[in-house]
Each structure stands twice: as C-alpha cells, then as structure tokens.
C-alpha cells in the first residue's frame, strides 16, 4: 500500500510519540508543574530503563518499573 520511503518515515512515529505520552506522567505533578525533587517516578523509570537495556525484555522492564516504584513509595 505504501512505498518503502513512507514506511521508513512512519516507522519513526512510535518512537516520537512515546516520550510525549510518558513525560507528563513521570515529571509533572497534579498541578501541571515539573516536580524533580522527591519524585519516586523518576527513580523507578531510571531503574526500569536500566533493566530494559540489559534484559531487552518488555515484561521485565514493566515489572521492574512497577516493583521499584511501589517499593520506593512504601519505603520512603
């Protein structure tokens, strides 16, 4: 249906949209301001990224992010 050039350009769309969806969930508080201090989501996302890079497994990345976020919330 599409030629090779259009398919190549469209292959970058998920990579461009994903950060726009994730950024507000991690960095913005309920008021819409950037919250960098005392934000457990930032540390949990860093842990999930590290696990994702080394494991190359989507489920391991998701579960490590969830587990680390819950652990950080309950401990601190």
CA–CA gap between residue 72 and residue 40 (Å, rounded): 6
CA 24 to chain centre: 10
User: What per-residue string of b and e applies to 27-52 under the rule 16 or more CB within 10 Å gives b?
Assistant: eeeeeeeeeeeebbbeebbebbeebb
Per-residue pLDDT at 1 exceeds 80? no
CA–CA gap between residue 71 and residue 6 (Å, rounded): 44
Minimal CA–CA distance to 66: which of 54, 47, 57, 20? 47
pLDDT of residue 13: 84
Per-residue pLDDT averaged across 56-73, rounded?
Answer: 95
Task: List pLDDT tens digits, range 15-54.
Answer: 889 888 999 999 999 898 999 988 999 999 999 999 999 9
Of the pLDDT bands very low, low, confident and very high (cuts 50, 70, 90), residue 10 is: confident
pLDDT of residue 53: 96
């Amino acid at each position: 249906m599409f030629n090779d050039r259009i398919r190549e350009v469209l292959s970058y769309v998920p990579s461009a949209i994903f950060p726009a969806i994730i950024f507000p969930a991690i960095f913005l508080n309920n008021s819409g301001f950037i919250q960098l201090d005392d934000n457990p989501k930032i540390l949990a996302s860093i842990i999930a990224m590290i696990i994702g890079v080394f494991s190359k497994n989507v489920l391991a990345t998701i579960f490590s992010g969830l587990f680390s976020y819950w652990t950080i919330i309950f401990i601190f």
